[in-house]
C-alpha cells in the first residue's frame, strides 16, 4: 500500500470492520491504495470533519462509508464533500440492517449517496464500484476489472449441477 490513498473507507464503529473489510479487500486485490478508519458521525463529529478535509487534501477520489442503525455517516460525509460517497448499510441487531439501509438510501434531494446492499455483498460491491470509477482514468485497472468479470463468467459457464 502506498501512502497516497485513492479511496477513504470510513466506518462508524470497529464492530463494522468484519463487514467493511470486504470493501478494503477488493481495493487491495485490485492494487488500489486506500485508507480505512473508524470515525463516528455522532460520537466524533469534529474528527469526521477534520478527516474529510485531510483525505480530500491527500487526493482521495471517493469515500466508502459503512454504518448501522440511524446510519448518518455517509450522508454527513456527502454533505461536506463533492466527492462521490458510497454508502454501505451495516446489518443491525434489532432490524437486521433495514434501519441502516433506509437511513442511507433515503437521502433528501441535492446530496446524493450511492447506496449498496446490506452487509458483506454491499461492502464488496462498494469496493468494486470504486474500482470501476477509478478505472475510467486508468487503463491497466480497467483491464484487471474486465479480467475479474471474465473469471466470474467462466465460473458460471463451468458450473455443472449434480445428476439426479
Ligand atoms: C453505528 O452504530 C456503527 O456504524 C455501528 O454499526 C453501530 C453500533 O456501533 P457499536 O455500538 O458496535 O460501536 O454508529
Ligand 1 pocket, residue 69 CB under 6 Å: yes
36 CA distance to ligand 1 centroid (A)?
16
Ligand 1 pocket, residue 126 CB under 6 Å: no
Ligand 1 pocket, residue 15 CB under 6 Å: yes
Q: Using CA atoms, how far apart are residues 65 and 70, in angstroms rounded to an integer? A: 13
pLDDT tens for each residue of 14-50: 999 999 999 999 999 999 999 999 999 999 999 999 9
Among 9, 14, 16, 88, the mutation site with the greatest number of ligand 1 atoms within 8 A of its Cβ is: 16
pTM comes to 0.96
Length of the chain, in residues: 164
Ligand 1 pocket, residue 99 CB under 6 Å: no
Q: Using CA atoms, how far apart are residues 73 and 12, in angstroms rounded to an integer? A: 7
Q: What is the mean pLDDT of residues 59-74?
A: 98
CA 73 to chain centre: 12
70 CA distance to ligand 1 centroid (A)?
9
- For residue 111, give the C-alpha cell: 446530496
Ligand 1 pocket, residue 74 CB under 6 Å: no
Q: What is the mean pLDDT of residues 40-65?
A: 98
Q: Residue 115, exposed/middle/buried by CB under 10 A (0-12, 13-18, 19+)?
A: buried
Across the chain, mean pLDDT equals: 97
Q: Are 5 and 108 in contact (CB under 8 A)?
A: no
Reported confidence tier of residue 3, pLDDT bands at 50, 70, 90? low
Give residue 108's pLDDT: 98
pLDDT tens for each residue of 91-115: 999 999 999 999 999 999 999 999 9
Rounded (5°) CA angle 5-67-144 = 40
Sheet containing strand 62-67, edge to edge, reads 34-38, 7-11, 62-67, 85-89, 114-115
Give residue 67's pLDDT: 98
Q: What is the mean pLDDT of residues 50-64?
A: 97
Amino acid at each position: 500500500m502506498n501512502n497516497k490513498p485513492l479511496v477513504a473507507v470510513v466506518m462508524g464503529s470497529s464492530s463494522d470492520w468484519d463487514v467493511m473489510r470486504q470493501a478494503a479487500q477488493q481495493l487491495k486485490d485490485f492494487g488500489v491504495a486506500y485508507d480505512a478508519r473508524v470515525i463516528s458521525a455522532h460520537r466524533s463529529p469534529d474528527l469526521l470533519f477534520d478527516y474529510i478535509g485531510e483525505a480530500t487534501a491527500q487526493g482521495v477520489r471517493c469515500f466508502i462509508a459503512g454504518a448501522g442503525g440511524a446510519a448518518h455517516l455517509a450522508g454527513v460525509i456527502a454533505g461536506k464533500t463533492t466527492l462521490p460517497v458510497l454508502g454501505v448499510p451495516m446489518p443491525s441487531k434489532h432490524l437486521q440492517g433495514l434501519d441502516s439501509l433506509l437511513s442511507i438510501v433515503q437521502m433528501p434531494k441535492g446530496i446524493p449517496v450511492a447506496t449498496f446492499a446490506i452487509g458483506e455483498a454491499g461492502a464488496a460491491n462498494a469496493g468494486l464500484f470504486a474500482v470501476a470509477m477509478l478505472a475510467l482514468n486508468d487503463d491497466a485497472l480497467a483491464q484487471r476489472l474486465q479480467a475479474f468479470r471474465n473469471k466470474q463468467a467462466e465460473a458460471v459457464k463451468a458450473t455443472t449441477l449434480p445428476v439426479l
